[in-house]
């Protein structure tokens, strides 16, 4: 099954595929100055594989940032996204609605909801997180790397806090 098929169903891509993609990317020259991983690792086996990859590359993680957000708010955020079929502009029914329902402000294109943004798929993704990703919090906390950020704050506050953490 292709990675996109897993994503469309709200499931995680298999570890071996994801780990291979990340390992290949971290070997690129632009990662030698530093890198930021978003959404990886998502499982304990991925975290262990990442440790091995980083060891081979003679580097390590500085921080692991966890954005704390209530499940209900996550559901509203993830199911409200709409995208223009013409230009790809992104909207949100609550946080960034178009001026006219279902129509892109930029070019009048029709807005659609991605297949993986429906309630069923999002619910599966959140369940997958609870079952497979949440255990990473203890894994990285035990290593002294875990940093908690309140993801329910305004985006500029969340961004500022993350930038401050990364600057050290």
Instruction: Tell me the residue length of the chain.
Output: 168
* pLDDT (tens digit per residue) in 116-155: 899 999 999 899 889 888 899 999 999 999 999 999 999 9
pLDDT for the residue numbered 13: 74
What's the mean per-residue pLDDT of the chain? Answer: 92
Of 17, 20, 22, 15, which is closest to residue 2 (Cα–Cα)? Answer: 17
Q: What residue ranges define each of the domains in the chain, with the CATH number in brackets?
A: 3-70+120-167 (3.40.50.300)
What is the distance between the alpha carbons of residues 52 and 143, in angstroms, rounded to a whole number?
Answer: 15
Q: What is the pLDDT of residue 42?
A: 86
Mean pLDDT over 92-107 rounds to: 96
Contact between 119 and 75 under an 8 Å Cβ cutoff? The reply is yes
Confidence at residue 147, expressed as pLDDT on a 0 to 100 scale: 97
> Taking the alpha carbons of 131, 60, 4, 148 in that order, is the dihedral positive or negative?
positive
């Amino acid at each position: 099954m292709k990675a996109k098929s897993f994503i469309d169903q709200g499931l995680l891509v298999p570890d071996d595929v994801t780990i291979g993609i990340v390992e290949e990317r971290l070997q690129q020259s632009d990662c030698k100055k530093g890198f930021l991983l978003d959404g990886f690792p998502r499982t304990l086996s991925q975290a262990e594989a990442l440790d091995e990859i980083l060891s081979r590359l003679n580097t390590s993680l500085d921080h692991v940032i966890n954005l704390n957000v209530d499940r209900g708010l996550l559901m509203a955020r993830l199911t409200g996204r709409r995208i223009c079929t013409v230009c790809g502009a992104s909207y949100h029914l609550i946080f960034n609605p178009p001026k006219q329902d279902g129509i892109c402000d930029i070019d009048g294109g029709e807005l659609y909801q991605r297949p993986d943004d429906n309630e069923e798929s999002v619910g599966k993704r959140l369940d997958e997180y609870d079952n497979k990703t949440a255990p990473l919090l203890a894994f990285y906390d035990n290593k002294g790397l875990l940093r908690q950020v309140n993801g329910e704050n305004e985006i500029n506050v969340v961004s500022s806090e993350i930038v401050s953490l990364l600057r050290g």
